[in-house]
Amino acid sequence: MTDGAIFFLLLKTWKTFIDWTTYGCPSPQPLYSINTLIKPKRNRHKLGRTYKLSKHINPLLERKDTSFKMGHPAAETSSFMTDFLRQSGGVAIIDGGLATELERHGADLNDPLWSAKCLLTSPHLVREVHLDYLEAGADIIITASYQATIQGFKAKGFSSEESESLLRKSVKIACEARDIYYDRCQKGSPDSNNGRVLKQRPILVAASIGSYGAYLADGSEYSGNYGDAITLETLKDFHRRRVQILAESGADLIAFETVPNKVEAQAYVELLKEEDIKIPAWFSFNSKDGVSVVSGDSLLDCASIAESCKNVVAVGINCTPPRFIHGLILSIKKVTTKPILIYPNSGESYDGKRKEWVQNTGISDQDFVSHVNKWCEIGAALVGGCCRTTPNTIRAIYRTLSSRSPAPSSK
């Protein structure tokens, strides 16, 4: 090797060292004006994840540097949701039911994979439903991975690699829907005559993780009773690879949904720490009596577990009848300092054994939305819908929240 080659190699090695030390990545990331549209693009590095964000997400950071590093020492996970909520006007809107809306679009979900089946058979429908919710005013869309597990896909004959690819696909579809929506925002008016909301704003993609009971598809997600053979370690082993994959898929956060018992909440918290997950997460529990989670475990104990985890940026309730939400918000406020999220179902009862909804047991969109202002007044910071709610429900929430006075600035 010539002297010149040796000098070049030493110079390159020194530059790489300086870059890692200074920037936490192989090379400094360019700075863009917040007025420049940059399509969401994600670069992953060993020492952190760098997000180059579009101008729709830039206001979330309130700075000209659009490189947001999750996992970098300078990044504060705890401020992630606070900043997002401030840019959303104080309250953010979560989307509505995905699986039940896919069924309305003609999808057959009579399958252990449930909505995840559409990742195989009709990904275009998943994208369409995501877009429907964005155009209804949702600020957060949740991926079709609630019942998508590596174990479930392998039971259908897929390899481990194919199963992992399908998990990533759920996030890819949601991100594509967001990109399409942003393009439409460039071409349309904020509130067009056909009822579509085309408004440039920060939008998050939440990677859904359902419970072990959801994988079993036997209704145990609504009871939380898995039997004595299912231990904390069993649950951690079951969820581990899925958490790893979705955390590195390009989602903005992980949504641990419909958590039915205390042991599964503890499993999630330990996994987030053990796997050094860099992106934020939220925990949402479900209740059938307005007091405890569905297993009978104390809601306060479950929420306290979520409160203890630095990765968790919001705690709340989903897939629970609206009539219980008021009391549940007040209960959660006793044990958490994190933003509270609620996305109830339509109030209809679900027969887990027959796998069907009991007719005439729910409430109308008008009745559902009539509670929204009160929920926000007592502490809810993220509001949306779960099973059997629709884009019309979310549109009604958007209109209700749009008519409220803006939240006081925290500056």
25 marked ligand binding residue: no
- Give the rounded distance of the alpha carbon of 124 from its chain centre: 20
What's the one-letter identity of residue 26?
Answer: P
The CA distances from residue 121 to 125, 158, 307, 358, in Å, are 9, 14, 38, 27
Give the integer Cα–Cα distance in Å for 371 and 135: 22
- Give the rounded distance of the alpha carbon of 224 from its chain centre: 21
Give the integer Cα–Cα distance in Å for 116 and 108: 11
Phi–psi pair at 51, nearest 5 degrees: -110, 120
What token pair was written down for 35? 């007025």
Determine how many CB atoms are found less than 10 A away from the CB of residue 326: 16
Give the integer Cα–Cα distance in Å for 154 and 284: 27
309 marked ligand binding residue: no
387 marked ligand binding residue: yes
- DSSP letters of 168-230? HHHHHHHHHHHHHHHHHHHHS-SB-TTS-B------EEEEEE--HHHHHTSSGGGT----TT-
Residues that constitute the known binding site: 319, 386-387
Residues of the binding site for Zn(2+)? 319, 386-387
